[in-house]
Every structure is written in structure tokens, then in C-alpha cells.
Amino acid sequence: MSVEIRVCPPDRFADLLRVAEVGFGEDVPDDMIERVKAVSDPERFVCAMDGDRIVSTGGVFTMTLRVPGGDLPAGGVTWVTVLPSHRRRGLLRGMMRLMIDDCRSRGEPLAMLWASEGTIYQRFGYGMATVCMNLEADTRASAYTRDWPVEGAYRMIPAGEGREIVEPVYEAARLQNAGFLGRTPEWWVGQLPRADKDAKGGEARRLVVYETDRGAEAYAVYKTKASWDVRGTSSSATVDEAVGSTPAGTRAIWRYLLDLDLVRTLRVWRLPADHPVLSLVAEPRRLGTSLGDGLWLRLVDARKALEGRTYGLAVQASGRLTMDLRDEYCPWNAGRWTLEVEGGRGRVLPASEEPEIALDANDLGAIFLGGWRPSALARSGRIEELRSGGLAAADALFPTATLPWCPQEF
């Protein structure tokens, strides 16, 4: 019987998520299925069906991504798997085609994802838009470089509460950082501790808020795992999310996390490589840092995306750059384009002159949020300078004051 790639039947949505258990090697609890349903448009989930059996899965969340100077609609590609019995049949390619075309038809200029394996998605035009710094910190060597005063106080929030407190903190940080995702109330449910699951004990998640007389300035969601041996505690803590809206709030929330009682190892993922914690501690090596890929970005509509962000570090930046963009998977993007910037805003026009740089769709996805300087990708041979001064022009337009940061997987 032939395999059909199609939109998932509405009554098979839970089945689709269950099939994904096989690909990811993890169980999908019933409560997770309900949370996914709450943030999903079932019409945006696709599958391959071998007769009545679902043999591959994929979906797109309707999301908003913070880009330099604004927000853009973005499709969050997710739950992509193919059963081991049906690999090498083009099912992934067929599903990706449906999902990219769906983003385009809905007017979403961007598609994004967290990759289980980066090599899979680069062939579809995704570029590494953010680089994650991960920590496995020794908390016994976490002194700060200076003795900053803690002006406010910490408050533990009971599970099931606190969204109205932390949402303004997250929103303030989101406006400062390209890469943050917009969050609806339904998305917040999965980010914060829940009364029916995290009320007490064990590895329950905790929410702590740092507050001053100005209000909440930082928060963290974390869980601890107890471990003891003949030397005493060797317990660890894992941070799901730690966000500060002010420098003082950021310093304070990390002081709290690094000082957790009985905790010897603090594990954190998905921080930007220029996160303040690296410059706060006196012994940065003891943070146990590593770098890896973060959010992968694909420009579905390059012209609309490029006109949807601001450029340059100056308030009223101006400049001009002509690019030769190669894009076989989304051929409507391919061609020679001139980016004209006035007052920090860009306009994209078909180019009449020779291009200054040449790049692939992956490269444009990588530099779009400011995570990579064009000249850095040129040093690895990814971007080619065709005319003298082209890389300098690109470097002046695309970088941002801070590296992009996406603290949430999806």
C-alpha cells in the first residue's frame, strides 16, 4: 500500500504525538498531549500514513519571534520524526515541503526549529541563528567579581501561581533580546510549575522571583535532585529558565541559583554566549561552559523578513548592500537583491548592479538575528565577498548590540 503525506486527521492528533515517542525515544504523558493541543492548530500538523498507520510526524506552531527592532510571525516547526521502518523514503522531505508552503501561505516570513540533529535541516535552508552556552557549574567556586548589594528580596511562588508576576519580566526582557518568543497564556502553562504536578518534594519544579520596591525584576524556574555520599551532598539543580529585566535583577537571580543550599552542580542550557553570568563570576572556568547550536532559522519570504527588522547599531543607521542569494528549496527567494537602509529600516529591491556578497539561504538565516557576523561566515567560506567592501557593509548592517537569545525550546 502506498504511503500518503497529508494533514493529520483531526481525530488522530493524539496518535501522531504517540508515534513521535518512537522517534524521540521518550514517553509522551497524557498531560503533555493536552498542553500541546492547547497551543496547536491541528490543521498545521502533518503526517505520512501507510494505510491506516501514522509512520512519520511533523507540525508547525503559530508563533511570534522577536527580531531586531520588532516582531515577525514565524512558524515553529516541531515534533518531526520518521519511524525507523520508513526511513530513506523521502517522507521527511515531503513533510517539510508541506510545512514550508503552509508558512508561506499564511504570510509567515520565517520558519524556525530546534534541531535534534543540525545536519538534517540545513539542506532545507535553515541556518544556526543562535548559539547556546550551556553550564555545568561548580557552585563551590561561584564567587562574584564584585560585592554587589542585593537591594530586593526573593520570594518562592506556590506551584500554579505567579504568571501575572513573571510575565512582565519576560516581556521586558523579550523587547531587549532578538530571538525571544511571544507567549500566550496557553504557552505559559508549560513554562511554570503546576499545582497538579509540582506541589512538593522530589524533582518538582520551583519558581522564585526577585523583587524590589520597583516590582519584580527577575525570576527563575528550576528543580533539584538530591544525591548523597560519604562526603555529604552531591546534589544538583537544573534551571529551566532564568530571566532578568534589569542588570541588578540578573545579578541577583544568578546569585540565588549559585547559592542554592546543598547543591553542588548547577546545570543550565540555552544561554547566549555573551550572557552576563560569564562576566559576573570570579572563576568563569568553574562554570563548566560549552557551546552548541540553538535556534535554527529559515527565511521563507526573504524580502518580507529583511524588511521586517532594523539594521545597524546607530539609531539612524543607513547603508546599502547588494546580495546574490542562492535558495534552491524556496526558489522565489533566489536572485540578486539590494538592501537599502535609511533610518535603520530596510527596503529590498531587485538588484540592477553586480552583487557585493554571495550567500546561501542557510547563511542568511544565520546572520538574520545578529548571531553571526557575515565576515565570520566568510572566514569559513560560507559567505563570499564579490566586491571589495561588501563584507564591511554587511557587518555594519546585520550585527546587534547583544547576541540573540531564545530561552525556550518548542
What radius of gyration, in Å, describes the C-alpha atoms of the chain? 23
Q: Which of 86, 26, 27, 88 is nearest to 57 (CA)?
A: 86
pTM for this one? 0.95
Q: What gap in Å lies between CA 193 and CA 202, rounded to an integer?
A: 13
Domain borders along the chain are: 3-108, 133-292, 302-397
Strand pairing report for 110-114 and 70-82: parallel
Same fold, 3-108 and 133-292: yes
Residue 1's pLDDT is 55
Top CATH class, 3-108 = alpha beta
Residues involved in catalysis: 121, 410
Top CATH class, 133-292 = alpha beta
**DSSP class of residue 43?**
G
Mean pLDDT by 10 residues, the chain (410 residues): 90 95 88 94 96 97 98 98 94 97 98 94 97 97 93 96 98 98 96 89 92 98 94 95 98 98 97 97 97 98 98 92 98 98 97 96 98 98 98 97 97
Asked whether 22 and 81 are in contact (CB, 8 A), the reply is yes
Residue 106's pLDDT is 98
Q: Whats the size of the chain, residue-wise?
A: 410
Q: Is the domain defined by 302-397 classed in CATH 3.30.1050.10?
A: yes
C-alpha cell read off for 101: 508552503
Asked whether 99 and 91 are in contact (CB, 8 A), the reply is no
